[in-house]
C-alpha cells in the first residue's frame, strides 16, 4: 500500500501509507473517488494529447483533433520522431543535454559530501555562520549570479562563454547549496554512538567519512543526484546564458524553445520534440519514483 | 607505480590497501595526464609508451597484492616496489629531458622532483624494512611519521592541483564532445577526490594541534570557495552593477546646455589638476527608476503579483484538498498521486508546448479546432478565442500552466502532513459532532499550519523566478511580461547590464523575507 516515502527538508522520514479506515466510512467514499478520478483525468489530458498527436500524420493533425485518433481506424506513425531527431537537430541536442547534465550532477557530489560531513560532525570556528550562509544561498535566486558570471566568463583570460565547462561550473555552483543542505540533513542524523565508536577505534575523520558516512548517505546522494539531474535536464535559463544560441552545442530545452519560435504551427514537430525532451525525466519518474520524490521535496527551494 | 604512504607508519599498522590503491590511481592519473593528455605534441616513442604501460601494470599488481595480502613485507612486494622505483627514476629523467609540460621548470617541475625524491625515500624505507629511519628528525618523531611522507603528500598535492588545472584548461579549449565528457568525468570523479585525499594526507602529517584545527577547513574549503565564486561574489557584484549603466560603468552626471539654440544633454565636467574630466555619478538610480516606473516594468510587476497570488493560492489550496481526498480512496491513492505529481518531471519548456497545443486556435474559417480548449469553446457554440493573444485572459492561461506543474508538489508534501494528524484528534472531533468540513478547517489545517507555510514559501520562490513559460509562449508580448523574463532580455538581448542587475536585485529583495524566515527556522532548529 505504501507507495512513496520521502523526507521533508528537515529530513524526517514520513511513510505515505494507505487510507484511514475510519474516515473512509464516514465520508461518502464514492463521491470522493469520482472527484479524484476527474482531477486525474484533467491533469493527464494535456500530456496525453501531446503524446497521441506526436504519433499522428501531419495532415491528420491539422484536419482533426487528436481525440478523434482514439477511435478506429488507428493510424499512427513514427515519422515525426524521425524528422525531429534528424532534420530538426533534436538528436544532437539530446546528446548535448547528456553532456551538460552528467558532469553537472557528478561534480558537486564529492564537494558537497565533504562539506556536509564537516558541518555535521566537526567543530570549527565560523561553522554556524558558514552553514547559515548555505541556507541563505539556498533561497537567493540564481538570477543574481548571471550577469557577473557572464562578465567573468567573457574575461579574455578566462573565456568560458559558450563552453560546456562554463555550464558545468555554473550548475555546480548553483546546485551546491542544495546538495550541502540535503546531505547535511541526512548525515547529521547518523547516531552519535556510531560516529564516536568509529573514532574510538582509531579511525581518522577522513576514514570515518569514507568508510562510514559515505556508504550510509547513499540514499541522500541518490536523491540529490536525481533532483540535480532533472533540474539541469529541464533547465533553459542557465544553458541559454552560458552556452549561448549556437545550434551545435545547444541543449534540448533550447532546441525545443527555438522550434516553438520557428515552427510554431508545425505541431507534428513540436509534439514529437516536446516528447523527446520529456522522455528521460519521465523514465526517471516511473522507475526511480522513491528517490525522485525525496529529491524534489528536499530540493524544491533551490534558487 | 605502487607507492604507499602508510607503509612506513609504525610497523603494527598493516592494513593499508585503500591508501595504496589511491597512490596507484594517483600515479596512473599523473602519468596519463602529464604524458598524453595535456600536451598535444607529445614526442614520446613507442618503447616509452610500453614502459609506461608496464609501470601501470606493476602499479595495479601492487594494488592487487596489497588487497589480498595485508600482512607485512614479503618478497613479492619488495620486488614490485623495487621495480616501481626503477621505473620512476627512468621516467623522472625522461620527463625532465622531454619537458613535455611547457613550464616543467616551474611549479610542476618542483612538485614532480619533490614527489619523486620522497617516493624514492619511501620505497627505500620499505625495501630495507627499516621503519626506524623516520626517527631521524624531531618533526617526524613528534608525529610518528617519516618526513618522506610529509614531503610526498605535499608534492603530490602540488601535482594533483596542477593536473586539475591542466585538465580544466583542457576542457576549456577542447571542443570534441566525447573527449570533453570523458575528461570531465575523470576530473569530476577522480580529480576532485584526489584533491581532497591529498590535502587531507598533508594535514594528517602535521602536528596534532595544527592538524585538528585545519582539517575541517580541508573538508568545507572547496565548497565554500565555489559558493563564494559562483554565488556570493556575483550577488554582491550584481548589487553594485545595478547602480551603473548598460556597460557596467559609472555614468556621468548629465546637464542640459544650449548649443546652437538647441537643448542638448551632455556630461558635466570638472577640472582636476588642470585636466577636464567628466563628473561621474556614483549613485546612479536610473535602473531602479526603470524598474519601478517604466510602463513595461509596471505591467511585469503587476503580472508577477498576479502570478504569485494566483499560483500560490490555487496550487496550495488545491494541493491540500487533493491531499485530503486521496487519503480516503484506498488502494488507488498512490496512482492518483503519481498522476497529479507527474508534471513536476516535465520541463517548463515542454509544459509550454503541451499547453500551447491545448490553447491553439485555428485561424482559418471552416477548419476544425485541433486545440482542445478551443474545440470545447466551439463545440459549445461560441467563436474560437485566440487565448494567448487576448490580453484579458492570456495571463491566466499562462498561470494555469504553472498551477498544473506545481500542484502535485504541494499535494505530496501536504499529503504527508495530513497523514501526520493523529487519529485520536480526528476521532475526538467526530465524537464532538463536527462534520468533515469543520474538521478540515478546525483540526487538520491548524495542525499542519507549519507545513502549509513551508509549501507557500517554496511555491512563492518558484513562481517569482518564472521565466521559461513566458519566454517560450509569448516572449512577454501582449501584456504578459514578468520580471524574470524582462531581466533576462535586458542583459541578454539588449546588453544592458545595469538594468538586468537592478531587476535581479528587485527579485532578491522580494525574496528577502523568506531568507530571514529560513534563518529564523534554522536558529530554532539548532536551539
Cβ contact B216–A61 (<8 Å): no
Same domain, A165 and A93: yes
Cα distance from B271 to chain A (closest Cα, Å)? 32
Judge whether B80 lies within some domain: yes
Contacts of A96 in chain B (CB under 8 A): 177
Same domain, A151 and A215: yes
Judge whether B406 lies within some domain: yes
Q: Which of B204, B334, B337 sits opposite A204 (nearest CB)?
A: B204
DSSP secondary structure code for residue B251 in this structure:
P
Per the omega criterion (within 30 degrees of 0), is the bond before A73 cis?
yes
Cβ contact A8–B430 (<8 Å): no
Cell of A96: 548535448
Q: What integer pLDDT is reported at residue A116 of this predicted model?
A: 92
Confidence of residue B443 (pLDDT cuts 50, 70, 90): confident
Q: Residue A235's closest chain B neighbor by CA?
A: B347
Q: Which residue has the higher pLDDT, A13 or A206?
A: A206
Confidence of residue B18 (pLDDT cuts 50, 70, 90): very low
Same domain, B389 and B276: no
Q: Which of B62-66, B201-205, B419-423 has the lowest mean pLDDT?
A: B62-66
User: Does the pLDDT of residue B100 top 50, yes or no?
Assistant: no
Same domain, A142 and A99: yes
Judge whether B231 lies within some domain: no
Same domain, B389 and B354: yes
Q: Residue B401's closest chain A neighbor by CA?
A: A46
Cβ contact B241–A148 (<8 Å): yes
Q: Which domain holds residue A66?
A: 23-77
Same domain, A38 and A145: no
Per the omega criterion (within 30 degrees of 0), is the bond before A167 cis?
no
Cα distance from A78 to chain B (closest Cα, Å)? 19
Judge whether A18 lies within some domain: no
Contact B13, B7 (CB under 8 A): no
Q: Which of B192, B353, B427 sits opposite A111 (nearest CB)?
A: B192
Q: Which of B226, B234, B235 sits opposite A176 (nearest CB)?
A: B226
pLDDT digits (tens, 9 = 90+) for B109-124: 666 666 666 666 665 5
Q: What integer pLDDT is reported at residue B11 of this predicted model?
A: 37
Q: What integer pLDDT is reported at residue B454 of this predicted model?
A: 81
Q: What integer pLDDT is reported at residue B277 of this predicted model?
A: 75
ipTM over 0.85: no
Contact A104, A175 (CB under 8 A): yes
Judge whether A62 lies within some domain: yes
Q: Which of B333, B338, B472 sits opposite A19 (nearest CB)?
A: B333
Q: Which of B248, B372, B419 sits opposite A45 (nearest CB)?
A: B372
Judge whether B193 lies within some domain: yes
Contact A96, A250 (CB under 8 A): yes
Cβ contact B343–A300 (<8 Å): no
Cβ contact A119–B220 (<8 Å): yes
Which of B 377-406 lie inside 8 A of A, CB atoms?
404
Q: What is the distance between the alpha carbons of residues B87 and B112, in angstroms, rounded to a whole number? A: 14
Judge whether B249 lies within some domain: no
Same domain, B337 and B428: yes
Task: Provide mean pLDDT across the span A293-303.
Answer: 59
**Residue B308 belongs to what H/E stretch?**
helix B295-326
Across chain A, mean pLDDT equals 80
Confidence of residue A109 (pLDDT cuts 50, 70, 90): very high
Cα distance from B515 to chain A (closest Cα, Å)? 6
Cα distance from A138 to chain B (closest Cα, Å)? 9
Cα distance from A187 to chain B (closest Cα, Å)? 14
Q: How many alpha carbons fall within 13 Å on the CB side of residue B179? A: 12
Same domain, A106 and A144: yes
Q: Which residue reads 592487487 in cell numbers?
A: B64
For testing contact with chain B, the best of A15, A69, A139 (most B CBs within 10 A): A139
Q: What integer pLDDT is reported at residue B3 of this predicted model?
A: 38
Contacts of B426 in chain A (CB under 8 A): 20, 22-23
Q: What is the distance between the alpha carbons of residues B483 and B302, in angstroms, rounded to a whole number? A: 10
Judge whether A215 lies within some domain: yes
DSSP secondary structure code for residue B135 in this structure:
G
Strand partners, B272: B275
User: Does the pLDDT of residue B58 top 80, yes or no?
Assistant: no
**How far from B3 is each of A171, A284, B201, B252, CA to CA, in Å?**
36, 42, 14, 64
Task: Provide mean pLDDT across the span B69-84.
Answer: 59
Q: What is the distance between the alpha carbons of residues B214 and B204, in angstroms, rounded to a whole number? A: 10
Q: Estimate to the nearest angstrom the gap between the alpha carbon of A200 and the chain centroid.
A: 40
Q: Which domain holds residue B388?
A: 288-526
Cα distance from B343 to chain A (closest Cα, Å)? 8
Same domain, B272 and B296: no
Confidence of residue A223 (pLDDT cuts 50, 70, 90): confident
Contacts of A110 in chain B (CB under 8 A): 189, 192-193, 196
Same domain, B327 and B275: no
Confidence of residue A101 (pLDDT cuts 50, 70, 90): very high
Cα distance from A79 to chain B (closest Cα, Å)? 19
Cβ contact A293–B457 (<8 Å): no
Same domain, B391 and B432: yes
Single residue among B284, B303, B323 that ends a domain in this structure: B284
Task: Provide mean pLDDT across the span A263-275.
Answer: 83
Q: Which of A260-274, B54-68, B499-513 has the lowest mean pLDDT?
A: B54-68
Task: Provide mean pLDDT across the span A115-138.
Answer: 88
Single residue among A52, A77, A102 that ends a domain in this structure: A77
Contact B497, B248 (CB under 8 A): yes
**How far from A278 is each of A298, B341, B353, B360, CA to CA, in Å?**
22, 14, 11, 20
Q: What integer pLDDT is reported at residue B399 of this predicted model?
A: 92
Asked if B447 has any chain A CB less than 8 Å from its own CB, the reply is no
Same domain, A71 and A122: no
Same domain, A169 and A71: no
Single residue among A35, A51, A77 that ends a domain in this structure: A77
Cα distance from B454 to chain A (closest Cα, Å)? 9
Q: Which residue has the higher pLDDT, A65 or B351?
A: B351
Could you give the number of structural domains in chain B? Answer: 3
Cβ contact B522–A135 (<8 Å): yes
Contacts of A243 in chain B (CB under 8 A): none
Q: What is the distance between the alpha carbons of residues A181 and A175, in angstroms, rounded to a whole number? A: 10
Judge whether B102 lies within some domain: yes
Q: Which residue reads 467514499 in cell numbers?
A: A29
Which of B 321-340 lie inside 8 A of A, CB atoms?
322, 325-334, 336-340
User: Among residues of chain B, what percentage have pLDDT more than 90?
Assistant: 8
Cβ contact B337–A3 (<8 Å): yes
What CATH number did the domain enclosing B427 receive? 1.10.3720.10
Task: Provide mean pLDDT across the span A132-158.
Answer: 86
Cα torsion A172, A173, A178, A180 to 10°: value is 90
Q: What is the distance between the alpha carbons of residues A205 and A40, in angstroms, rounded to a whole number? A: 50
Contacts of B342 in chain A (CB under 8 A): 43-44, 47, 282, 285
Judge whether A136 lies within some domain: yes
Q: Which of A49, A128, A300 sits opposite B372 (nearest CB)?
A: A49
Same domain, B329 and B184: no
Q: What integer pLDDT is reported at residue A5 of this predicted model?
A: 36
Greatest Cα-to-Cα distance within chain B, rounded to the nearest angstrom = 101
Which range is most confident: A282-296, B141-155, B289-303? B289-303
Task: Provide mean pLDDT across the span A229-252.
Answer: 87
Task: Provide mean pLDDT across the span A184-204.
Answer: 81
- Provide the H-helix boundaries in B8-45: 17-31
Same domain, A145 and A263: yes
Cα distance from B176 to chain A (closest Cα, Å)? 11
Which of B 112-131 lie inside 8 A of A, CB atoms?
none
Cβ contact B426–A23 (<8 Å): yes
What CATH number did the domain enclosing A110 receive? 1.10.3720.10
Judge whether B12 lies within some domain: no
Which 3 state secondary structure label does DSSP give B265? strand
Judge whether A17 lies within some domain: no
Judge whether B502 lies within some domain: yes
Asked if B357 has any chain A CB less than 8 Å from its own CB, the reply is yes
Which of B 267-306 lie inside 8 A of A, CB atoms?
none
Which 3 state secondary structure label does DSSP give A200? helix
Single residue among B206, B239, B273 that ends a domain in this structure: B206
Q: What integer pLDDT is reported at residue A263 of this predicted model?
A: 78
Judge whether A2 lies within some domain: no
Judge whether A13 lies within some domain: no
pLDDT digits (tens, 9 = 90+) for B291-323: 788 888 888 888 999 999 999 999 999 999 888
Contacts (Cβ under 8 Å, ≥6 apart) of A157: none
Contacts of A32 in chain B (CB under 8 A): 325, 328-329
Single residue among B174, B206, B238 that ends a domain in this structure: B206
Q: What integer pLDDT is reported at residue B70 of this predicted model?
A: 47
Same domain, A103 and A127: yes
Closest alpha carbon to A237 in B466, B437, B454 = B466
Across chain B, mean pLDDT equals 75
Q: Which of A115, A132, A209 sits opposite B519 (nearest CB)?
A: A132
Single residue among A34, A51, A77 that ends a domain in this structure: A77
Same domain, B265 and B341: no
Q: Which of A27, A159, A253 sits opposite B347 (nearest CB)?
A: A253
Cα distance from A1 to chain B (closest Cα, Å)? 6
Q: Residue A123's closest chain B neighbor by CA?
A: B216
Cβ contact B350–A274 (<8 Å): yes
Same domain, A37 and A128: no
pLDDT digits (tens, 9 = 90+) for A79-99: 778 777 877 778 888 888 988
Q: What integer pLDDT is reported at residue B127 of this predicted model?
A: 53
- The three-point CA angle B60-B62-B67 to 5° equals 95
Q: What integer pLDDT is reported at residue B245 of this predicted model?
A: 79
Q: What is the distance between the alpha carbons of residues A184 and A199, in angstroms, rounded to a whole number? A: 19
User: Among residues of chain A, what percentage have pLDDT more than 70?
Assistant: 88
Contacts (Cβ under 8 Å, ≥6 apart) of B369: A65, B360, B361, B362, B375, B377, B378, B384
Cβ contact B223–A22 (<8 Å): no
Same domain, B396 and B505: yes
Q: What is the distance between the alpha carbons of residues B36 and B39, in angstroms, rounded to a whole number? A: 6
Same domain, B300 and B183: no
Same domain, B273 and B305: no
Task: Provide mean pLDDT across the span B267-279.
Answer: 76
Same domain, A149 and A188: yes
Cα distance from B437 to chain A (closest Cα, Å)? 10
Contacts (Cβ under 8 Å, ≥6 apart) of B394: B387, B388, B474, B478, B479, B480
Contacts of B248 in chain A (CB under 8 A): 151
User: Does the pLDDT of residue B126 top 90, yes or no?
Assistant: no
Asked if B488 has any chain A CB less than 8 Å from its own CB, the reply is yes
User: Does the pLDDT of residue B205 top 70, yes or no?
Assistant: yes
Q: How many alpha carbons fall within 13 Å on the CB side of residue B304? A: 27
Task: Provide mean pLDDT across the span B440-461.
Answer: 84
Q: What integer pLDDT is reported at residue B225 of this predicted model?
A: 92
Q: Which of A139, A165, A176 sits opposite B511 (nearest CB)?
A: A139
Contact A247, A162 (CB under 8 A): no
Q: Which residue reads 620499505 in cell numbers?
A: B126
Same domain, B404 and B498: yes
Could you give the number of structural domains in chain A? Answer: 2
Task: Provide mean pLDDT across the span B245-255.
Answer: 76
Task: Provide mean pLDDT across the span B502-525.
Answer: 84
Contacts (Cβ under 8 Å, ≥6 apart) of A71: none
pLDDT digits (tens, 9 = 90+) for B338-393: 888 888 888 888 999 899 888 888 877 777 778 888 888 888 878 888 888 888 88
Judge whether A160 lies within some domain: yes
Contacts of A35 in chain B (CB under 8 A): 325
Contacts (Cβ under 8 Å, ≥6 apart) of B60: B24
Cβ contact A44–B415 (<8 Å): no
Cα distance from B346 to chain A (closest Cα, Å)? 6
Cβ contact A160–B172 (<8 Å): yes
User: Does the pLDDT of residue A32 top 70, yes or no?
Assistant: yes
User: Among residues of chain B, what percentage have pLDDT more than 70?
Assistant: 69
User: Does the pLDDT of residue B202 top 70, yes or no?
Assistant: yes
Same domain, A35 and A164: no
Antiparallel, parallel or unpaired: β A13-15 and B254-259 = unpaired
Amino acid at each position: 500500500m505504501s507507495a512513496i516515502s520521502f523526507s521533508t527538508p528537515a529530513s524526517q522520514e514520513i511513510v505515505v501509507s494507505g487510507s484511514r479506515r475510519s474516515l473512509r466510512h464516514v465520508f461518502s467514499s464514492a463521491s470522493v473517488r469520482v472527484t479524484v478520478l476527474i482531477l486525474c483525468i484533467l491533469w493527464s489530458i494535456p500530456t496525453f494529447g501531446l503524446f497521441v498527436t506526436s504519433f499522428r500524420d501531419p495532415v491528420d493533425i491539422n484536419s482533426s483533433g487528436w481525440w478523434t485518433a482514439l477511435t478506429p481506424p488507428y493510424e499512427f506513425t513514427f515519422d515525426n520522431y524521425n524528422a525531429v531527431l534528424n532534420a530538426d537537430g533534436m538528436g544532437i541536442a539530446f546528446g548535448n543535454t547528456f553532456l551538460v547534465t552528467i558532469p553537472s550532477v557528478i561534480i558537486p557530489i564529492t564537494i558537497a559530501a565533504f562539506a556536509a560531513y564537516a558541518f555535521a560532525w566537526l567543530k570549527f570556528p565560523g561553522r554556524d555562520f558558514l552553514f547559515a550562509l548555505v541556507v541563505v544561498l539556498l533561497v537567493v535566486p540564481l538570477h543574481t549570479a548571471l550577469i557577473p558570471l557572464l562578465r567573468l566568463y567573457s574575461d579574455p583570460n578566462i573565456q568560458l562563454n559558450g563552453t560546456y565547462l562554463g555550464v558545468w561550473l555554473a550548475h555546480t555552483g548553483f546546485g551546491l547549496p542544495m546538495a550541502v543542505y540535503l546531505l547535511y540533513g541526512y548525515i547529521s542524523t547518523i547516531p552519535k554512538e556510531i560516529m564516536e565508536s568509529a573514532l574510538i577505534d582509531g579511525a581518522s575523520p577522513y576514514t570515518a567519512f569514507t568508510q562510514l558516512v559515505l556508504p550510509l548517505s547513499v540514499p541522500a546522494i541518490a536523491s540529490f543526484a536525481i533532483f540535480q539531474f532533472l533540474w539541469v535536464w529541464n533547465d533553459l535559463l542557465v544553458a541559454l546564458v552560458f552556452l549561448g544560441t549556437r545550434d551545435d552545442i545547444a541543449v534540448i530545452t533550447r532546441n525545443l524553445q527555438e522550434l516553438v519560435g520557428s515552427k510554431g504551427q508545425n505541431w507534428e514537430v513540436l509534439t514529437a520534440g516536446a516528447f523527446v525532451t520529456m522522455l528521460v525525466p519521465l523514465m526517471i519518474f516511473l522507475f526511480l519514483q522513491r528517490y525522485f520524490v525525496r529529491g524534489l521535496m528536499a530540493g524544491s527551494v533551490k534558487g | 607505480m605502487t607507492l604507499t604512504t602508510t607503509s612506513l607508519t609504525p610497523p603494527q599498522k598493516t592494513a593499508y590497501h585503500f591508501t595504496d590503491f589511491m597512490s596507484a590511481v594517483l600515479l596512473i592519473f599523473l602519468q596519463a595526464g602529464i604524458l598524453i593528455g595535456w600536451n598535444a605534441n607529445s614526442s614520446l616513442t613507442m618503447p616509452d609508451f610500453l614502459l609506461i604501460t608496464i609501470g601501470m601494470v606493476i602499479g595495479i599488481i601492487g594494488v592487487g597484492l596489497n588487497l589480498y595480502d595485508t600482512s607485512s613485507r614479503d618478497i613479492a612486494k619488495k620486488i614490485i616496489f623495487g621495480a616501481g622505483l626503477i621505473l620512476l627514476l627512468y621516467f623522472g629523467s625522461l620527463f625532465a629531458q622531454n619537458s613535455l609540460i611547457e613550464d616543467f621548470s616551474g611549479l610542476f617541475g618542483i612538485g614532480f622532483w619533490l614527489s619523486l625524491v620522497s617516493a624514492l625515500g619511501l620505497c627505500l624505507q620499505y625495501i630495507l624494512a627499516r621503519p626506524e629511519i623516520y626517527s631521524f628528525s624531531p618533526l617526524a618523531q613528534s608525529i610518528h611519521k617519516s618526513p618522506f611522507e610529509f614531503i610526498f603528500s605535499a608534492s603530490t598535492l602540488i601535482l594533483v592541483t596542477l593536473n586539475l588545472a591542466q585538465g580544466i584548461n583542457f576542457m576549456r579549449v577542447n571542443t570534441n564532445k566525447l573527449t570533453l565528457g570523458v575528461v570531465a568525468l575523470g576530473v569530476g570523479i577522480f580529480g576532485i577526490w584526489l584533491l581532497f585525499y591529498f590535502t587531507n594526507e598533508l594535514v594528517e602529517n602535521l602536528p596534532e594541534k595544527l592538524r585538528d584545527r585545519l582539517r575541517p577547513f580541508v573538508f568545507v574549503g572547496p565548497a565554500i570557495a565555489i559558493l563564494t565564486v559562483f554565488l556570493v561574489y556575483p550577488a554582491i557584484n550584481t548589487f553594485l552593477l545595478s547602480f551603473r549603466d548598460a556597460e557596467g560603468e559609472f555614468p556621468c552626471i548629465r546637464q542640459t546646455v544650449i548649443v546652437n539654440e538647441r537643448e542638448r544633454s551632455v556630461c558635466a565636467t570638472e577640472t582636476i589638476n588642470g585636466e577636464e574630466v567628466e563628473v561621474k555619478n556614483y549613485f546612479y538610480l536610473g535602473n531602479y527608476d526603470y524598474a519601478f516606473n517604466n510602463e513595461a516594468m509596471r505591467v511585469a510587476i503587476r503580472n508577477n503579483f498576479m502570478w504569485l497570488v494566483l499560483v500560490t493560492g490555487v496550487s496550495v489550496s488545491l494541493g491540500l484538498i487533493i491531499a485530503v481526498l486521496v487519503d480516503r480512496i484506498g488502494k488507488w491513492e498512490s496512482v492518483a498521486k503519481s498522476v497529479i505529481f507527474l508534471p513536476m518531471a516535465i520541463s517548463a519548456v515542454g509544459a509550454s508546448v503541451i499547453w500551447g497545443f491545448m490553447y491553439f486556435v485555428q485561424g482559418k474559417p471552416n477548419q476544425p479546432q485541433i486545440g482542445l480548449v478551443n474545440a470545447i469553446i466551439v463545440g459549445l457554440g461560441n467563436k474560437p478565442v485566440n487565448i494567448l493573444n487576448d490580453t484579458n485572459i492570456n495571463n491566466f492561461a499562462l498561470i494555469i500552466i504553472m498551477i498544473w506543474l506545481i500542484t502535485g508538489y504541494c499535494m505530496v508534501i501536504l499529503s504527508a502532513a495530513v497523514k501526520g494528524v493523529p487519529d485520536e484528534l480526528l476521532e475526538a472531533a467526530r465524537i464532538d459532532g463536527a462534520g468533515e468540513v469543520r474538521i478540515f478547517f478546525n483540526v487538520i489545517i491548524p495542525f499542519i499550519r507549519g507545513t502549509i507555510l513551508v509549501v507557500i514559501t517554496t511555491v512563492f520562490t518558484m513562481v517569482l523566478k518564472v521565466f521559461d513559460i513566458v519566454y517560450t509562449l509569448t516572449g512577454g508580448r501582449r501584456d504578459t511580461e514578468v520580471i524574470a523574463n524582462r531581466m533576462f532580455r535586458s542583459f541578454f538581448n539588449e546588453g544592458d547590464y545595469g538594468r538586468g542587475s537592478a531587476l535581479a536585485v528587485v527579485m532578491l529583495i522580494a525574496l528577502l523575507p523568506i531568507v530571514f524566515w529560513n534563518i529564523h527556522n534554522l536558529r530554532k532548529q539548532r536551539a
